[in-house]
Structure 1
Amino acid sequence: MALFIGALTRHTIERAARIGDGFITVALDWDETLTKIWWYQDAGGTGTVVVNTIPAYPGTPITPATFTDAMLTDLDLDRAAKADADEMHLTLNLKPVDPDSQVELLEALAAKLGLPS
Structure 2
Amino acid sequence: QTMRPGLYEMTTSVKAEGLPAGMGDQSMRQCLTAKELQPENMASSSNPQDECKLKESHSSGNVWTGTMVCKSAGTMKVRTTSSADGWQTDLDSSGGEMGKMLMRTVSRRVGDCTR
TM above 0.5 = no
User: Which category describes the TM-score, using the shorter chain as reference length?
Assistant: under 0.3
TM-score normalised to structure 2 length: 0.23
Q: Which has the higher strand share?
A: 2
Larger relative contact order (CA 8 Å, sep ≥ 6): 2
TM-score normalised to structure 1 length: 0.23
Larger CA Rg, structure 1 vs 2? 1
